[in-house]
């Protein structure tokens, strides 16, 4: 009998890809999902895939009985469940990301559980200016509710590891791949759509979803208890990424870059609308808007040295991602 994995966030973009890989490698997979969640993977029409072999546990991170059943007896608990500011208000983001993590760890303490692999975000790390690339030691002051909630959850994992539990935290950077209708669709549009008026200033560490799944499995197998690992990819400006996508796919990269001043100005506008009307028109404030104009570049040297983690160039992830993107448009 293969190893048993429990996966929260199993129907999400990264969670679905992780479950698919685990199943392919012979794991028994238990997945946490809400009653309304779609349990199919979004793939190009030429390659259908679903998660029918996952043993589904219907509930969420606030259902103690379901969590207990989900994790008990698992060799690895992959905790990926979370929400961002595009889909929830700041209070809900904190509740799900921080308190939900606390509930998962409580279930793990009470059950027979091997290792916990927690997926945080590279956003809790940021260079202090002494280097172009941030690493695991560059702990940053959180900007916005999402980063703050993830930083708080990381502290819970660190405490769990320091008090007898076995836990590792990974920090993916900006992930691209089929099924992601946020960052991936925006990035591809900058390189493919003739109607796209502009690229963005700044840049990101762009990593394929399959590489992040590799990193999750490596962290489960070889990570040091209590350690953190950045799972990044190529560090590219958005201009560079758009040009490479256009060159690969025969598209037309957006010809103009949005001025950083325009993005920074949107932060105060969003704050003002929220203060007057109580409505959130953009999920960021002035500090988050300023952050979006920076080159958020990262080093994965530690993950490479300790986990054997490697990443592929952007172009290697484009065939399946572009097929999915074009299917979604038709």
Domain boundaries, the chain: 4-177+206-233+297-313
- CB proximity list for 297: less than 8 A, separation 6 or greater: 127, 132, 133, 134, 203, 204, 205, 235
- Compute the mean pLDDT over every residue in the chain, rounded to the nearest whole number: 85
- Predicted confidence at residue 216, as pLDDT, reads 98
pLDDT at 52 over 70: yes
Q: Residue 294 class from Cβ within 10 Å (0-12 exposed, 13-18 middle, 19+ buried)?
A: middle
- Predicted confidence at residue 43, as pLDDT, reads 58
Model confidence at 89, pLDDT cuts 50, 70, 90, reads: confident
- Predicted confidence at residue 106, as pLDDT, reads 98
Q: What is the pLDDT of residues 238-296, one digit of tens each?
A: 889 989 999 998 866 655 454 444 444 443 433 333 443 344 434 445 555 555 667 88
Catalytic-residue membership of 160 = no
- Predicted confidence at residue 105, as pLDDT, reads 98
pTM: 0.87
- CB proximity list for 24: less than 8 A, separation 6 or greater: none
Model confidence at 146, pLDDT cuts 50, 70, 90, reads: very high
- Predicted confidence at residue 329, as pLDDT, reads 73
pLDDT at 144 over 80: yes
- CB proximity list for 128: less than 8 A, separation 6 or greater: 138
List 57, 146, 229, 325, catalytic entry: 146
Q: What is the pLDDT of residues 105-120, one digit of tens each?
A: 999 999 999 999 999 9
Is the domain covering 4-177+206-233+297-313 a CATH 3.40.50.460 domain? Answer: no
- Predicted confidence at residue 271, as pLDDT, reads 38
């Amino acid at each position: 009998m293969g190893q048993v994995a429990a996966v929260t966030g199993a129907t999400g973009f990264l969670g679905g890809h992780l479950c698919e890989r685990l199943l392919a490698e012979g794991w028994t997979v238990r997945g946490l999902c809400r009653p309304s969640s779609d349990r199919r993977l979004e793939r190009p029409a030429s390659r259908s895939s679903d998660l029918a072999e996952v043993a589904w546990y219907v509930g969420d991170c606030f259902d103690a009985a379901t969590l207990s059943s989900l994790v008990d007896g698992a060799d690895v608990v992959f905790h990926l469940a979370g929400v961002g500011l595009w889909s929830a208000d700041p209070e809900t983001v904190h509740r799900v990301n921080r308190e939900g993590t606390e509930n998962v760890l409580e279930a793990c303490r009470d059950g027979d559980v091997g290792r916990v692999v927690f997926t945080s975000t590279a956003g809790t790390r940021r260079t202090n200016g002494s280097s172009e690339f941030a690493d695991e030691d560059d702990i940053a002051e959180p900007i916005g509710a999402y980063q703050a909630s993830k930083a708080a959850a990381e502290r819970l994992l660190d405490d769990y590891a320091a008090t007898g539990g076995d836990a590792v935290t990974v920090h993916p950077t900006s992930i691209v791949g089929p099924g992601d209708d946020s960052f991936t669709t925006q990035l591809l549009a900058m390189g493919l759509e003739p109607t796209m008026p502009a690229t963005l200033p700044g840049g990101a560490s762009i990593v394929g979803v399959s590489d992040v799944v590799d990193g999750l499995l490596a962290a489960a197998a070889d990570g040091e208890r209590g350690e953190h690992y950045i799972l990044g990819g190529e560090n590219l400006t958005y201009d560079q990424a758009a040009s490479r996508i256009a060159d690969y796919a025969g598209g037309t990269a957006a010809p103009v870059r949005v001025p950083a001043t325009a993005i920074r100005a949107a932060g105060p506008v969003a704050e003002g609308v929220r203060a007057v009307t109580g409505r959130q028109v953009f999920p960021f404030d002035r500090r988050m808007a300023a952050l979006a104009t920076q080159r958020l570049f990262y080093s994965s040297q530690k993950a490479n040295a300790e986990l054997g983690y490697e990443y592929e160039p952007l172009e290697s992830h484009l065939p399946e991602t572009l097929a999915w993107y074009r299917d979604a448009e038709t």
